[in-house]
């Protein structure tokens, strides 16, 4: 028996008995049964809503899985294309310095190739200091910070 059926049964019992509704205890019992019936109705509504929401979430999850599969398939194709392009790659850029910006002014990273062939990365603070030691061979690497205005 469901909770709704049980509440209806109790209400039927109350209605089927020949109770004197002028007595306070009978009025209390009647009020409690009415409250039980109302709570049962609300609970049933909540259960139905929960089931509907769960069904919709399942559909959304299926849609997201399909989108994820689609995106991953595209990334796999892009990766295969990148592998073909990598075959044509002929090494590092021959520039002495290369700056990378990771979206934050403090995070610009520069690279320089040492005479030993090691590519050494350093930040602006090291660049301003003017030199650093190659971690591979120990040679002193010196930098000059040139401004476009100074050249003119």
| One pLDDT digit (tens) per residue for the chain, 152 residues | 888 888 888 888 888 888 888 899 988 998 999 999 899 999 999 999 999 999 999 999 999 999 999 888 877 776 665 555 555 555 555 444 445 444 455 567 888 888 888 888 888 888 788 888 888 888 888 877 666 555 44
Single out the residue of 83, 115, 119 nearest to residue 100, CA to CA: 119
Domain residue limits, the chain: 3-86, 98-151
- pLDDT, position 1: 85
Q: Return the pLDDT at 16.
A: 84
Instruction: Please spell the DSSP secondary structure of 54-104, one letter per residue.
Output: HHHHHHHHHHHHHHHHHHHHHHHHHHHHHHHHHTT---S---S-EEE--SS
């Amino acid at each position: 028996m469901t909770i709704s059926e049980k509440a209806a049964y109790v209400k039927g019992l109350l209605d089927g008995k020949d109770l004197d509704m002028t007595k306070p205890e009978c009025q209390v019992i009647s009020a409690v049964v009415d409250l039980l019936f109302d709570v049962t109705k609300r609970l049933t509504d909540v259960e139905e809503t929960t089931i509907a929401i769960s069904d919709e979430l399942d559909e959304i999850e299926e849609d997201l899985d399909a989108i994820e599969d689609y995106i991953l398939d595209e990334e796999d194709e892009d990766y295969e294309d990148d592998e073909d392009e990598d075959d044509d790659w002929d090494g590092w850029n021959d520039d002495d310095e290369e700056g990378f910006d990771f979206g934050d002014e403090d995070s610009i990273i520069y690279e320089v190739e040492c005479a030993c062939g090691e590519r050494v990365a350093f930040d602006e603070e090291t660049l301003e200091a003017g030199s650093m030691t190659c971690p591979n061979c120990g040679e002193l690497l010196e930098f000059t910070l040139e401004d476009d205005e100074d050249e003119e």
